[in-house]
Amino acid sequence: MKKILIVEDEKNIARFLELELRHEKFEVTVCYDGRQGLEQALAQQFDCILLDVMLPALNGIEVCRRIRKQSDVPILLLTARDAVMDRVAGLDAGADDYIVKPFAIEELLARIRSIFRRVKSSDAQEQAKLTVRDIEMDTQAYEVFLRGERLELTRTEFDLLKLLMWNKNIVCTRERILEQVWGYDSEVETNVVDVYIRHLRTKLVTDGVPYIETVRGVGYVMRE
């Protein structure tokens, strides 16, 4: 049975999540403030942590940062509607994903399933083949196919696309992209990310929904 920790000070939301997740056959632990949440997170092995940002005692971003120093447990942030900065700070603090309140329980469950799939596939070592919609990538052969046709990409474009495909359905901040594609000590500015995203978009021709979605003020995501 998978174990989920809920850290949420609004009792009615916490209770609702607890009941819904129990119904989905998860084992659930609930904490109502950040300090307690952090203690629990470090004391036990959880499969996923649902972490509110606005918390008494210790805020969710700080809790996230401190958990990350010791654990890779998947963290899903629960953020307020207009708190774009919280989302950026949360993702930079090492959260895996975020969901904006109020949310439908189905969406939350989908995010949790997506996190579990990702953990499973990274456990199975680096997946050789990545797919998003009709884009296929063979990471070992360094090949990308769009609707079956081979795409010519530069090494940087390839690495950028790989990061986005690998994190399918999860928003990557510009800072994270910069770190992972260009490296921590890189001198380039974050707007270089936007430039490369533009390059990729012109190559990933679509007559429908664009493959790479811009999340304003945060970063980019590829969705199924």
Residues near Ca ion (CB under 5 A) are 9, 52, 54
3/69 Cα distance (integer angstroms): 20
CB closer to Ca ion, 52 vs 96 = 52
Which DSSP string corresponds to the chain? Answer: --EEEEE-S-HHHHHHHHHHHHHTT-EEEEESSHHHHHHHHHHS--SEEEEESS-SSS-HHHHHHHHHTT----EEEEE-TT-HHHHHHHHHTT-SEEEESS--HHHHHHHHHHHHHHHHHHHT-S-SEEEETTEEEETTTTEEEETTEEP---HHHHHHHHHHHHTTTSPEEHHHHIIIII-TT----THHHHHHHHHHHHHS--SSS-SEEEETTTEEEE--
Q: Which residue is nearest to Ca ion (CB)?
A: 54
In whole angstroms, the minimum distance from the beta carbon of 80 to Ca ion comes to: 8
Quote the least distance from Cβ 121 to Ca ion, whole Å.
Answer: 32
Residue 78 beta carbon to Ca ion: minimum distance, rounded to whole angstroms: 8
Taking the least distance from each CB to Ca ion, the nearer of 50 and 161 is 50
Based on CB atoms, which residue is closest to Ca ion, 54 or 108? Answer: 54
Instruction: Supply the minimum distance, in Å, between the C-beta of residue 73 and Ca ion.
Output: 20
Q: Which is nearer to Ca ion, 101 or 201 (CB)?
A: 101
Minimum Å distance from CB 137 to Ca ion? 39
Which of residues 54 and 192 has its CB atom nearest to Ca ion in the complex? 54
Q: In angstroms, what is the minimal distance from the CB of 55 to Ca ion?
A: 6
Which residue number, 79 or 173, has a Cβ lying nearer to Ca ion? 79
CA distance 23 to 44: 22
Task: Give me the residues paired with residue 4 across strands.
Answer: 28, 48
Shortest CB 139 distance to Ca ion, Å: 39
Positive or negative, the CA dihedral 216, 126, 114, 72 is negative
Q: Which amino acid is at 7?
A: V
Nearer to Ca ion (CB atom), residue 34 or residue 219: 34
